[in-house]
Amino acid sequence: MEPNPPEVALSLDPNAISHLYHTIKASGMVYAHASTYRAARALLLLAELPVQQQNSAWGLSLLGRICFESGRYPEASQAFGASHRLAPYRLRDMDMYSTLLWHMKKEEELAQLAHTMVSIGRNWSPEAWIAVANCFSLDGEHASAVKSLGRSIQLFKSAHGGTTIIPRSESGGVSGLAYAHTLVGHESVASDDLDRAQQAFRTAIRIDPRHYNAWYGMGMVYLRLGKLDLAEYHFGRALALNSQNPLLLQSAGAVYEHRGDYHSALEVYARVEALLLEGYSSKNDNENSASPSAAVDSNGTVVLGLQSHHAMNFVMFKRARVMVVLGRFAEAADTLELLLQRCPREFNVPFLLGQTYAKLRRYREAAACLTRALDIAPENSQSVNEAFDALYQQSSEDHGSEDTDQEEQNHDEDDDEDLERVARNRDMRYQSYPGDLGTPPSEFGHSGNIASPASSSIGSPYFDSPSVYARGRRGQAEWSRDWAAMNSADDRVDRALNFDM
């Protein structure tokens, strides 16, 4: 019989215990602040974690989710991408990554991510089918997207015994089931099925009352239905949950726009833009005013840093649109010119800028912007052609008014010359007829009329080319053929600039 092995004294390093305790505590604090959408504080605490935790798949995914929920899309894309490269078989939180790629319109990366996720978890991963739904949605196939989301909902329920009470994810995000129902609501709104959208958003709110995206979706539905009070209430609930999301901050401006209170809407958009520029800081949390320092992962990728805001372009456009409505065209043009540099492939920017230039009578630049808009989205040719017709009509009216002003000016000058000539003749008559009755003979001569001034023959100051002016009078079909005959966007812009308006 073998003797009992000697007891080994268990010795624990106090430093190791303290390190483990602080790591777990800091992780819990990060989780708590991420769950309540306090992005700035969560990022500060995340930066205090050990580097190994920050650069883990969990830490990078959590960083991506925090940045995404606060509207920092570039930083979120870097963090999610680093997490996916580090652990490609980890599908948790990749549904949020797919939605991020949808917002950033990165079709190739989204398709590749969805393919990878489906190949791994076709029969068990709800996140994989959410990524597939985002792919269909980006392609405009909303019905297929809803079917994929239905499959995701089935997998969520089967994974939890058919119950609708799903625990929140380990990274602090909303439950995936509520998120899937919310995406169904957004797809229904895109398909103009508002009844189904309301049902989906209400289901998401019932599953997770803290799901701000569902509250925001309900607000958008009521806004489209014209129920402004209900829209304002739901937007307020969403903003109370996530006060650091710039897209939620501007929802109040959308309500003001629909009410016709454009001055209040402009104030809201200006305030949101200022918050985005200087970094959002909570009025109730002094610690949120600090800016977290940037962290670099092992590949040299900056994963922290809140300088860029993807939502800035959207807020700038809405502010410029309100300024156009208020007739502040010069300010709107300045904003749209800057916005055109930030997002050169967005159709609405050059389209609105072209119409703004037309109001400022900068016709050459207006034609160039409308041409650029047509190149970006040829499917919107009808709207662009209507804008071109309005442009040519306005320029023709200005041409006619300037001709009239010129004729009146010439008429006044000729009248002055005639009066001077009559005065000279009168003086000569006084000298020729000194014995008269003291009054000169009729200064109008035998006909009794002054010779009418010559008619002005000034050409159009906007259209010095007959072919261009003739094309402006032709129908819409002729316009389409003219644009189709041009080979490239550069040619179209050059030709527009050569209109010499």
Which residues have CB under 8 Å from 17's CB, separation 6+? Answer: none
Mean pLDDT computed over 333-339: 94
Residue 238 — very low, low, confident or very high, per pLDDT cuts 50/70/90? very high
Strands, E, within 288-433: which ranges?
none
CA atoms within 13 A on the CB side of 405: 6
CA atoms within 13 A on the CB side of 355: 20
* Residue 168 to residue 481: CA distance in whole angstroms: 57
First to last CA, the chain: 109
3 state DSSP class of 321: helix
> Quick one: pLDDT at residue 109?
95
Please, are residues 330 and 358 in contact by the beta-carbon 8 Å criterion? no
Does 444 or 279 have the greater pLDDT score?
A: 279
Element holding 357 (H helix, E strand): helix 348-359
The yes-or-no verdict on residue 346 having pLDDT over 50 is: yes
Lowest mean pLDDT among 30-34, 78-82, 135-139, 453-457: 453-457
- Largest interatomic CA distance in the chain: 166
At CA 492, angle to CA 487 and CA 494, rounded to 5? 120
Residue type, 423: A
**Which is nearest to 364 in space by CA: 391, 326, 345, 387?**
391
Segment 381-401 shows an average pLDDT of 86
Backbone angles phi and psi of 164, in degrees to 5: -95, 0
Cβ neighbours for 480, distance < 8 A, ≥ 6 positions apart: 381, 385
Of 288 and 202, more confident: 202
Average pLDDT of every residue of the chain: 75
Lowest-pLDDT choice from 25-34, 353-362, 453-462 = 453-462
What pLDDT, on the 0 to 100 scale, is given for residue 386?
92
Q: What residues contact residue 168 under an 8 Å CB cut-off, 6+ apart?
A: 35, 174, 175, 208
Q: Supply the pLDDT for residue 115.
A: 95
Neighbours of 415 (CB within 10 A): 12
pLDDT at position 431: 39
Would you state the structure tokens that stand for residue 339, as one six-digit string?
């916005």
Contact indicator for 103, 85 with CB cutoff of 8 Å:
no
Residue 309: per-residue pLDDT: 52
User: 358-362, 404-408, 438-442, 492-496: which range is least confident on average?
Assistant: 438-442
**Alpha-helix runs per DSSP H in 279-362:** 312-325, 329-342, 348-359
pLDDT band at 401 (very low <50, low <70, confident <90, very high): low
DSSP symbols for 156-204:
HHHHTTT-S--PPPTTSPPPHHHHHHHHHHHHHHHTT-HHHHHHHHHHH
> Tens of pLDDT along 11-68?
677 888 888 888 888 889 998 898 888 888 999 999 989 999 999 999 999 999 998 9
High-pLDDT (> 90) share of the chain, %: 47
Amino acid at 49: L
141 has pLDDT over 90: yes
pLDDT of 447 strictly over 70: no
Does the pLDDT of residue 135 top 80, yes or no?
yes
Q: What is the pLDDT of residue 249?
A: 80
- Rounded to whole angstroms, the Cα distance separating 73 from 93 reads 15
Q: Is the pLDDT of residue 417 over 60?
A: no
Q: What is the mean pLDDT of residues 228-252?
A: 87
Q: Which residue bears the tokens 């050990």?
A: 50
pLDDT score recorded for residue 368: 93
Q: What is the Cα Rg of the chain in Å?
A: 34
Torsion of the alpha carbons at 472, 476, 480 and 482, rounded to the nearest 10: -30
pLDDT in tens, 83-104: 999 999 999 999 999 999 998 8
Report the distance separating Cα 107 and Cα 109, nearest Å. Answer: 6
Query: What pLDDT is recorded for position 416?
Result: 52
120 vs 88: CA distance, rounded Å: 9
Percentage of the chain with pLDDT > 70?
67
Is it the case that residue 289 has pLDDT exceeding 50? no
Look at 161 and 238; give whichever has higher pLDDT.
238
* Burial tier of 213 (Cβ tally within 10 Å: 0-12, 13-18, 19+): buried
Q: Are 130 and 180 in contact (CB under 8 A)?
A: yes
Residue with tokens 């268990």: 10
